[in-house]
Structure 1
């Protein structure tokens, strides 16, 4: 009597697993350009901003060190990062060893990226390439 009961209990126990919820993500791909060659190595910052409560807040960021442009970039964004408001991409170029911004660009992008690449043309500041 005990043996069938023990077998029944072991069969009923089994393994219990809880599925992990993974949120789908969106890829933001793009190409960053600058008119003319870079005079020296630079650091390029790509920041994705979302409008939340009337303020632009960063939701994703990455940095690249480059010696030539164009640069292809790729950011993965979750639905939580895309949840509210409009989405903007801000890029800044600084020469390595300097904190001065040499070139910038900011533009609104659509939330549904549709696999299309964003083309960013960096705008050099008036003091480029000698901004301090």
Structure 2
């Protein structure tokens, strides 16, 4: 029982020091060192800044260089079967934070149940030993 309590105490204290250590280092884009990228990479990540050139390779799906399985042509029948995006529910910060909090409460409930069961077994064993020591009346 004491090893379980000490393990739980160790986990709680170590997680708090890890979060404090992360707060010391500055974060964000302003603290990142700049990195040079190639013009092709810039064009890939900024497609709207370059005008579309029609004299290059074919831009239609019919003459794609991808294998046949990777080429998908959209039809109105396929588009109508897609589920609407408006019905989606997104996880907020509260529901994401509730996952580890729920795990902590479940762990504490398990430790409590374990303590109650062990206490009852110990008390039952003591009562049985005390009953065997008493003379029969």
Output the TM-score relative to the length of structure 2: 0.18
Structure scoring higher RCO (CA < 8 A, sep ≥ 6) equals 1
Counting strand residues as a fraction of each chain, which structure ranks higher? 1
- TM-score normalised according to structure 1 size: 0.19
Choose between structure 1 and 2: higher helix proportion: 2
